[in-house]
Chain A
Amino acid sequence: MKYLRLNLIGWILLLFMAALTPVHAARIGDITEISVWDQTVRFFSFKDPSLRYALTGAILLGLTCGLLGSFLVVRKLALLGDTLSHAVLPGVAAGFLWDMDKNPVAIFIGATVAGLLGSFMVTRITSTTKLKEDTALGMVLACFFGVGICLVTMIQRLPSGNKSGIDKFLFGQAASLGQSDIQLMAVVTLLTFGLVWLFYKELLTVSFDPGFAYSVMIPVAWVHHGFMLLLAFSVVIALQAVGVVLVSAMLITPAATAYLMTDRLHRMLLFACLTGMLAGIMGAFFSFLGHQLPTGPFMVLSAAVLFAVAFFFAPSHGVVIKWWTRRSRSGRVRRENTLKAVFHVLEQEKFRQEGVTLVELAELRRQTLDGTEASCLELVRLGYGTMPPGEKAFYLTPKGMRRAQTIVRNHRLWELYLTDAANYSPDHVHDDAEEIEHILGEDLVRQLERQLNFADRDPHGKPIPSAEEIISAHGTVQSSPPTATGYRKPS
Chain B
Amino acid sequence: MSEMIPALDWQAIFVAPWTTDFSIYGWIFLMGFLVCAACGLAGNYLILRRMALVGDAISHSVLPGLAIAFLAANAWTNRQAAGEGIDLAVEPSGHGISYGFAIFMGALIAGVLTTLMIEIIHTRTRIKQDAAIGITFSTLFAFGVVLISVYADKVDLDADCVLHGEIAFVSIQPFFTIGTYQLAPSPVIRMGLVTFLTLGLMVVFYKELLVSSFDPGLASSMGINATFVHYALMCWLSVIVVSAFEAVGAILVIAMLILPGATASMLTTRFPIVLVLSLLHAAASSVLGLHLAIWLNSSAAGCMVVAGAGIFCVSWVFSPSQGILPNWLKRRRNSKCLPSAGIGTETVGES
Contacts and interface: CB of A to CB of B under 8 A. Distances in A.
A270 interface: no
B102 to A, nearest CB: 23
A79 B133 contact: yes
Contacts of A274: none
Interface residues of B, number: 66
A301 B257 CA distance: 27
Interface in A257-279: 259-260
Contacts of A290: 150
B296 A154 contact: yes
A299 to B, nearest CB: 8
A151 B124 CA distance: 42
Contacts of A66: none
Interface in B161-181: 163-164
A160 B2 CA distance: 12
B51 A301 contact: no
Interface in A154-176: 154-155, 157-160, 167, 170-171
Q: How large is the interface on A (under 10, 10 to 19, 20 to 34, 35 or more residues)?
A: 35 or more
A21 interface: no
A149 B163 contact: yes
A169 B266 CA distance: 34
B131 A138 contact: no
A137 B50 CA distance: 11
B302 A138 contact: no
B160 A170 contact: yes
Contact of B252 (A142, A293, A304): A142
Interface in A60-82: 73, 76-79, 81-82
B1 A294 contact: no
| Residue from A167, A301, A317 having most chain B Cβ neighbours under 10 A | A301
B234 interface: no
A129 interface: yes
Contacts of A292: 149, 152
Interface stretch (B68-76, B135-143, B202-210, B216-224): B135-143
B135 A256 contact: yes
Interface string A88-107: 00000000010000000000
A149 B52 contact: no
B227 interface: no
Given A150-B302, A160-B3, A141 B56 contact: yes
A375 B211 CA distance: 49
A142 B251 contact: yes
B106 interface: no
B312 A139 contact: yes
B4 A245 contact: no
A296 to B, nearest CB: 7
Contacts of A112: none
B324 A139 contact: no
A128 interface: yes
Interface string B268-299: 00000000000000000000000000001111
B51 A317 contact: no
Interface in A443-485: none
A311 B139 contact: no
B138 A78 contact: no
A130 B265 CA distance: 8
Interface stretch (B13-21, B81-89, B193-201, B303-311): B303-311
A311 B136 CA distance: 13
B155 interface: no
Contacts of B259: 139, 142-143
A371 to B, nearest CB: 30
A300 B139 contact: yes
Interface of A: 73, 76-79, 81-82, 86, 97, 125, 128-132, 134-135, 137-139, 141-143, 145-147, 149-151, 153-155, 157-160, 167, 170-171, 245-246, 248-249, 251-253, 255-256, 259-260, 290, 292-294, 296-298, 300-301, 304, 307, 311, 317, 319
Sorted from nearest, which 6 A-B pairs have the closest CB atoms? A146-B305, A249-B138, A142-B255, A300-B142, A149-B302, A297-B142
Interface of B: 1, 3-4, 47, 50-53, 55-56, 60, 121, 124-128, 130-131, 133-135, 138-139, 141-143, 145-146, 149-150, 152, 159-160, 163-164, 251-259, 261-262, 265-266, 296-299, 301-306, 308-309, 312, 316, 322, 324, 327
13 contacts: A77-B130, A130-B322, A137-B53, A147-B302, A149-B301, A153-B302, A170-B163, A249-B134, A259-B131, A301-B146, A304-B138, A307-B135, A319-B125
